[in-house]
Structure 1
Amino acid sequence: MPASHAAVHPEPLLVDVRSRPEFESGHVDGALHLSLERLVHDAPTVLPDKDARLLLYCLSGARSGMALQWLRQMGYTQAVNGGSVGAVALQTGRSIRRL
């Protein structure tokens, strides 16, 4: 029997690379906060699986683009830039939550 689509293609982990105040003001439900400033230092601990599917986002897509380049240099193979918080919310069908 073939594996289910969900087992073969699990949902990506959403990673918000904005600042803590930006994250708290509104982030995609279920997203992990890993600010761009801490990314290189914290990624190995927070994101130990370098083959995990990661969907990065920020306010416009610029910082998440930088984060994507850094993560690829660090060996992450399945990271993609989702662009803005709004685009990722629409793409994933998740709501925006505030802390």
Structure 2
Amino acid sequence: MFDFLKSSAPAFQNLTPAKFAEGLRQPGGLLLDVRRPDEFAGGHLPGAVNIDVTGSNFAQRTAALDKTQPLYVYCRSGARSATAAKQLTAAGFANVSNLLGGVLDWPETLVR
């Protein structure tokens, strides 16, 4: 009835690296690296799937994912992953978390 009163806050969560790591330890989540393939090849979080948010097929590739599965999204600094998280929640993904600070703030070693 009063839709205009609803908060315009994002429907995804921004998580600190510690909270993001905690979420990744829970079963059933998908870790999504939204950087370019060359950045991904240079080092990424273990177990991550790479789908470039700036790629022309981002929406098509993410549409194939389970919308009920928790998604943990990250990039280099947190900016592109926030954009991706907005797109994912708009597309109907129910549980999306963004890594604040991206891999720049990630305390653990990246894998290749």
TM-score scaled to structure 2, two decimals? 0.68
2:110 matched to which residue of 1? Answer: 96
Establish whether residue 32 from structure 1 lines up as the match of residue 49 from structure 2. yes
Establish whether residue 80 from structure 1 lines up as the match of residue 94 from structure 2. no
2:12 matched to which residue of 1? Answer: none
2:28/2:69 contact within 8 Å kept = no
Distance in 1 (alpha carbons) for counterparts of 2:34 and 2:58: 8
Evaluate the alpha carbon distance shift between residue 86 and residue 12 of structure 1 in structure 2; reply closer, same or farther with a 3 A threshold.
farther
Q: State the 4+ residue runs in structure 1 displaced beyond 6 angstroms.
A: none
1:44 Cα shift? 1.4
TM-score scaled to structure 1, two decimals? 0.76
Q: 5+ residue gaps in structure 1?
A: 1-8
Aligned sequence identity (%): 35
2:3 matched to which residue of 1? Answer: none
**Paired positions, count:** 84
Counterpart of 2:58 in structure 1: which amino acid? L
1:29/1:95 contact within 8 Å kept = no
